[in-house]
Amino acid sequence: MATKRRLWIDTDTASDDAVAIVMALKHPNTEVVGMSVVIGNVPVEMGVQNALYTAELCGVRVPVHAGAAAPLVRPFATAQHVHGADGMGSIGLPLTGRVATSNDAVHALIEAFRSEPGELELVALGPLTNLALALRIEPRLAQWVKRCVVMGGTGVLPGNITPLSEFNWWVDPEAVHIVLESGMNVEMVGWDVSVADAVIEDPLAAEIRALSPLGAFCVDIQKVLRIFCEESSKLKGFDWPDPIAMAVALEPDIASREAHRRVEVSLGQGHERGQTIVDHLGNTKRTPNCRVVYRVDRERFIGMVKAACIA
């Protein structure tokens, strides 16, 4: 029997993060050992409620720790206009009253990886503030993390928050810089992968919704996102950047096109704040520091989502 993949999830839990969490919690060969919540899509306290509710719905108890409530140095605004006021589509879910395991996600993350160096994998679904703070406290964390799959940036497309930048990396580019320069084994699954391989059009959404109550949850919480994607991203349906990144984390060989590249982030202002810089041609002569995923097997991804909804 294969050894279970053991994950720590760092998340700014909103509607697509929740689906990614469902995929991890329901995957037969995966154990989620803990979750840390970071500012991003929603305020941290809201992200904690959303993560705990999702785990509860899956029938799984997992420690959830509240983390950074602001980027390292930048002002920013949440993405509640994208995911709903509660981050979960504003469909009336009971998202109050749950209590975080701790309010010290950064040290919880450090201790988890310190206790099992080289054994745990990290999946970062939101801004990288928690991870950057942890690295500043304990630089050895970079070597303790077996692999770190990051949903953020873009390999080839322009941005979704500015003409140049993807939201997660725009929120806290200084944190991204710290992580990319740390020596950690980073894998980037950018927003471009989601647009290419994880757009869920209405007929497929209806199919997933009909699978089970969990399938209905995964689709219904996209209510506000569905409208945003049609009006702003010009997509026919909604896209799932966090679930497609989770698919790569859970089954690394699902990537159908990838390359090892030097990846950096712009620390500038204006449109270029948080822009992803991928050295496709090796012009910088710097050593590659990131597995860049460009495409994923879409049919296999959809199969993973469906399997999670009926597990």
Positive or negative torsion for Cα 113, 30, 37, 193: positive
Is the pLDDT confidence value at 161 over 70? yes
Tell me the average pLDDT across 109-124: 98
Q: Which helix (H) or strand (E) holds 191?
A: helix 191-197
DSSP string, 222-267: THHHHHHIIIII--SSEE-HHHHHHHHHH-GGGEEEEEEEEEEE--
Question: Residue 198's closest CA among 159, 249, 150, 235?
Answer: 235
**Please, are residues 135 and 142 in contact by the beta-carbon 8 Å criterion?**
yes
CATH class of 5-310: alpha beta
Tell me the average pLDDT across 189-210: 98
Residues 46-81: pLDDT tens digits?
Answer: 999 999 999 999 999 999 999 999 999 999 889 999
Tell me the average pLDDT across 93-109: 98
**pLDDT above 90 as % of the chain:** 95
Q: Rounded to two decimals, what is the model's pTM?
A: 0.97
Give the Cα separation of 273 and 271 in Å (integer). 6
Give the pLDDT of residue 233: 85
**Please, are residues 196 and 295 in contact by the beta-carbon 8 Å criterion?**
yes
Give the pLDDT of residue 238: 96
Going from N- to C-terminal start, the domains of the chain cover 5-310
CA distances from 77 to 73, 81, 82, 103 (A): 13, 10, 12, 21
Tell me the average pLDDT across 123-130: 98
**Please, are residues 308 and 23 in contact by the beta-carbon 8 Å criterion?**
yes
Tell me the average pLDDT across 117-125: 98
At a CB cut-off of 8 Å and minimum separation 6, what does 234 contact? none
Q: Do the strands 30-37 and 64-66 form a parallel or antiparallel pair, or are they unpaired?
A: parallel
Tell me the average pLDDT across 8-27: 98
* Orientation angle between helical segments 241-250 and 15-26, nearest 10 degrees: 20
Is the pLDDT confidence value at 2 over 80? no
* Orientation angle between helical segments 298-310 and 241-250, nearest 10 degrees: 90
Give the pLDDT of residue 1: 52
Residues 233-277: pLDDT tens digits?
Answer: 889 999 999 999 999 999 999 999 999 999 999 999 999 999 999
Amino acid at 127: P
Q: Do the strands 238-239 and 199-200 form a parallel or antiparallel pair, or are they unpaired?
A: antiparallel
3-state secondary structure (DSSP) of residue 125:
coil
Give the pLDDT of residue 121: 98
3-state secondary structure (DSSP) of residue 301:
helix
Give the Cα separation of 22 and 240 in Å (integer). 13
Q: Which helix (H) or strand (E) holds 213?
A: helix 213-220
What value does the mean pLDDT of the chain take?
A: 97
Identify the burial level of 156 via C-beta atoms within 10 angstroms of its C-beta, where 0-12 means exposed, 13-18 middle and 19 or more buried. middle
